């Protein structure tokens, strides 16, 4: 359990630090005073001032923050004896600078996901289409076994028609159920093409299919070592986009359920993330890095949602200011974001309570995850 907690906080720390570092570095580069860089949410547990920035560790480990000078108001913080520095205040920067600072965290999370997926692909190989249908496995006593089809065989044609994809093969075999069909097989090491006559089953056992073969049209490609970072970056980007689309669809589903007065399903909070992280960590470092990428995409999509207190909510105010050409009253915006933060914290607590109750009733982390996936 101690190891699981350590891994969970390590993953959470990487996600938060990378996200907040995006805000931090872009703000610094644009001359904005970063008053505090905090991990977790207050109350503060530990802090150290380096230069003119306070670096803090806070009690609630559910996020982090970068506190920018003049983020919401031009009034100085009199309680801390702080003097307002107009030229270093976020509120006085251009719309483009403010947009860059706000979106930097989201961009950093996508970059983290790309790096994570790229590392995984560099070590596990790149799946690529071989434009052939290859036999991976054969079921016992199946038509394929009786016809002496072998693992590694390449199916070239079905009844004289060329097949280059799994979908094509399945479609042609489905059309021939209960009828004899001729397969042209290219076996590894054989010079000649074998012709096999076989009859696909009309009612095969569950999970076997008409012929009783598992097939694929992909292979795992390992690029030369010097090329792997480039392949990793390319496929890592594709993977991040893939997960980004799925996560976005998931959030659309959640808000659709809420709009129709339904309780959203498949929503989990810190406890759920802890359970998944604990279970995935058992499989090794690469699955954990892959999970880090997936969660990072989730965090990016969540933060860009136009809800108060989130990056997307702050970006929405910037867009409104750009459209109407007038600043929104800082005090009003501050109140809106404060209310949004309260709502988010209440939601996190409610989801956490639900997850804890589910974990207790399941009796184990694996049981809890099985219930989540149903």
Tens-place pLDDT, residues 102-115:
999 999 999 999 99
CA distance 94 to 279: 46
**What does the pLDDT look like over 172-221, one tens digit per residue?**
999 989 999 999 998 865 567 889 999 999 998 888 889 999 999 888 88
CA distance 293 to 280: 13
Please report which helix (H) or strand (E) contains residue 316, including its range. Answer: helix 311-324
- Which domains does the chain carry? 2-124+230-373 (no CATH), 127-221 (2.30.42.10)
Q: pTM for the complete prediction?
A: 0.78
In three-state secondary structure terms, 177 is: coil
**What does the pLDDT look like over 224-245, one tens digit per residue?**
888 888 888 888 888 888 888 8
Counting Cβ atoms within 10 Å, is residue 159 exposed (0-12), middle (13-18) or buried (19+)?
Answer: middle
Q: Which residue has the higher pLDDT, 1 or 118?
A: 118
> What is the pLDDT, as a whole number, of residue 79?
44
> What is the pLDDT, as a whole number, of residue 343?
87
Mean pLDDT of 325-345: 85
Mean pLDDT of 351-366: 79
Mean pLDDT of 317-338: 86
> What is the pLDDT, as a whole number, of residue 34?
92
């Amino acid at each position: 359990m101690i190891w699981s907690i350590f891994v969970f906080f390590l993953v959470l720390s990487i996600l938060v630090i990378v996200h907040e570092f995006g805000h931090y570095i872009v703000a610094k580069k644009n001359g904005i005073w970063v008053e505090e860089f905090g991990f977790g949410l207050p109350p503060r547990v530990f802090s150290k001032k380096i230069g003119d920035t306070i670096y803090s560790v806070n009690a609630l480990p559910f996020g982090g923050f970068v506190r920018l000078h003049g983020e919401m108001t031009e009034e100085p913080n009199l309680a801390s004896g702080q003097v307002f520095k107009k030229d270093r205040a976020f509120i006085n920067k251009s719309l483009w600078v403010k947009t860059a600072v706000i979106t930097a965290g989201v961009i950093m999370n996508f970059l983290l996901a790309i790096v994570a997926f790229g590392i995984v692909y560099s070590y596990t190989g790149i799946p690529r289409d071989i434009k052939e249908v290859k036999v991976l496995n054969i079921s016992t006593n199946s038509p394929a076994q009786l016809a002496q089809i072998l693992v590694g065989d390449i199916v070239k044609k079905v009844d004289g028609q060329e097949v280059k994809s799994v979908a094509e093969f399945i479609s042609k075999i489905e059309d021939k159920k209960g009828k004899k069909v001729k397969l042209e097989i290219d076996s590894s090491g054989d010079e000649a093409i074998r012709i096999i006559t076989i009859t696909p089953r009309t009612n095969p056992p569950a999970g076997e299919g008409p012929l009783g073969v598992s097939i694929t049209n992909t292979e795992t490609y390992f690029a030369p070592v010097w090329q792997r970072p480039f392949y990793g970056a390319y496929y890592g980007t594709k993977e991040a986009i893939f997960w980004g689309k799925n996560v976005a669809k998931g959030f659309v589903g959640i808000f659709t359920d809420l709009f129709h007065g339904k309780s959203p399903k498949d929503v989990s909070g810190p406890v759920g993330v802890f359970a998944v992280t604990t279970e995935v960590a058992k499989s090794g470092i690469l699955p954990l890095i892959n999970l880090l990428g997936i969660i990072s995409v989730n965090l990016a999509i969540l933060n860009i949602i136009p809800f108060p207190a989130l990056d997307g909510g702050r970006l929405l105010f910037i867009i409104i200011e750009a459209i109407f050409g007038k600043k929104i009253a800082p005090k009003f915006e501050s109140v809106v974001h404060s209310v949004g933060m309260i709502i988010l914290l209440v939601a996190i607590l409610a989801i956490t309570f639900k997850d804890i109750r589910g974990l207790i009733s399941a009796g184990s982390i694996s049981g809890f995850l099985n219930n989540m996936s149903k």
